[in-house]
Chains A and B, each alone.
Chain A
Amino acid sequence: MINDEKDLEDLLGRLAREDDGLQAPDAHPPASKLAAYREDRLTPEEEQEIQEHLGACRECSDLLLGLEGLYERPAETGVADFETASGWRKMRARLDADAWFEAGETPVARRRSKAWRHPSITLFAAVLLAVIGFSLYTLFSPGATVQTLETVNSHRGGGEEAVEVVRLPITLLLKSPVREPLPEYRAEILDPSDRSVRKVSGLKENASFEIELPLRRWSLRPGKYHVELLGLREGRFVPVGEYAFRIAGN
């Protein structure tokens, strides 16, 4: 019989004991992916995947909490200064035996720095980089063309609504349907068969209550697309609006 929250927690506690050790997954994400999760370098889908894994994996949770300790480097670690000094003496002896101190510059650092010291090579590389950079920019930048999109009724309800026809590259301005500004938005672009073809995170609202969604040249094929806009509200991304557009054929 459950009478109050204390009874509920007792029951959950017994549930915990039964589950303990049973859910450790065999396949762990590589450390680089855990670090990328901590540094917000993953896609929303990858983030969700990692969070689901963390929900079931004690080891990866502990690793990630350990990583937090490396970032924060708390002043009080329970390791005395004299112990650190003694540890360094041991490390120094180990590095000495390996002739690490005599090596001077590390091979890669030396090779890199000496090559770039020659002025003509540096100048040539700078010009080459500028030309390549400018070419890539003109080829792939969203450009100055913009198109404002209003929200549409849910496309899952069927029917054919009139949509704006655009040419790439372009920056779509999604009119925010919510009154209060939200700190961050994510957009998911779906093709006519509702297949997700592109996800963009880290979008912000501009002063005109529009969310800018840049689309590069050749990033989408001609055809009709829908955009699902999600906004960060109370720590969760929730749907805030839906938009439609058509990429013109050549």
Chain B
Amino acid sequence: MTSVPPDDEIAELVRKIQEGKDREESARRLFAIFSPSLIRFFTRFRFSHDESRDLTQDVLFRVFKSIAEFRHDSRFESWLFEIATNIYRNEIRRRRTGKRDGQEIPLETAPDSEHPSGQTLELPSPEPDALASLGERERQKILRTAIAKMPPQMRLCCEMRYVRGLKYQEIATLMKISIDTVKAHLHQARKRLMAELGNRPGGVG
């Protein structure tokens, strides 16, 4: 288990490497701190564990090779993130253009987003009859219109939760707001949508 080091320790390790002091030990420590998080970073994108480990090696190799360019004017993690993102995007581009000998790349299945009530929003798709399908389309149109009319933050919370299936914590992180604010927005959004459907023919029964 790796303990979480303070930010100034990271900056100090980077400085030592840049100045050539305890270079190997500082590099080893920096590698130990960030390689598990980077492996996790890549597995989020459904790369296999082995692929994520290889990509992590590429990221940290590039980090060490170009560490002189880091100017300490932002967090080291941001700079690391930029390199990791570039390597991720290059890898995706490389796979899309089929430069890896036309080889199929197996991707592991990531865990599904959990629903607060323990259910998932993915439901079995029944084959509705034509009339029911018409009613469904009408209700979805009402929902889309109602979501589009919400205030920006509420609308984004609603889209991230219901359209994208993100967790409360993930929405809070992305929107830089508290979980309680996310829950409040979604509560209000549900009330609005229920009211909107209730005011239309074929809506709330």
Contact = CB atoms under 8 A, between A and B. Distances in A.
B109 interface: no
Given A5-B190, A73-B4, A98-B65, A54 B28 contact: no
A75 B1 contact: yes
Contacts of B204: 1-3
Contacts of A79: 35-36, 39-40
Interface in B122-144: 122-123, 125, 136, 139-140, 143-144
Interface in B1-51: 1-5, 17-20, 23-24, 27-28, 31-41, 44-45
Given A75-B4, A88-B32, A13 B123 contact: yes
Contacts of A109: 18-20, 68
A108 B178 CA distance: 42
B143 to A, nearest CB: 6
Given A75-B2, A87-B56, A100-B65, A15 B162 contact: yes
Nearest to A22: B163
B82 A32 contact: yes
Interface string A47-74: 0100110111011011111111111111
Contact of A10 (B34, B65, B77, B123): B123
A19 interface: yes
Contacts of B38: 70
Nearest to A11: B139
B121 interface: yes
B177 to A, nearest CB: 5
Given A14-B136, A91-B61, A104 B78 contact: no
A67 B84 CA distance: 9
Nearest to A83: B53
Contacts of A30: 82
Contacts of A66: 40-41, 44-45, 81, 84
Prevailing SS type, chain A contact patch: helix
B162 A106 contact: no
A62 B2 contact: no
B135 to A, nearest CB: 8
A38 interface: yes
Interface residues of B, number: 87
Contacts of A31: 81-82, 85-86
Contact of B181 (A38, A74, A234): A234
A76 interface: yes
Interface in A114-168: none
Nearest to A110: B20
Nearest to A68: B173
A90 interface: yes
A40 B136 CA distance: 42
B160 to A, nearest CB: 6
Interface string B45-79: 10000000100110011001101110000110111
A3 B84 CA distance: 47
B31 A91 contact: yes
A215 interface: no
Given A14-B140, A64-B174, A87-B35, A235 B197 contact: no
Contact of B164 (A16, A63, A104): A16
Contacts of A5: 190, 194
A71 to B, nearest CB: 5
A195 B60 CA distance: 46
Contacts of B37: 69-70, 73-74, 77
B170 interface: yes
- A-B CB proximity, top 7 nearest: A106-B68, A13-B121, A31-B85, A108-B68, A35-B78, A77-B36, A105-B20
Interface of B: 1-5, 17-20, 23-24, 27-28, 31-41, 44-45, 53, 56-57, 60-61, 64-65, 67-69, 74-75, 77-82, 84-86, 88, 121-123, 125, 136, 139-140, 143-144, 151-153, 155-156, 159-160, 162-166, 170, 173-178, 181, 184, 190, 193-194, 197-198, 202-205
Interface of A: 1-3, 5, 8-19, 23, 30-32, 34-36, 38-41, 48, 51-52, 54-56, 58-59, 61-79, 81, 83-84, 87-88, 90-92, 94-95, 98, 100-101, 103-110, 113, 234-236
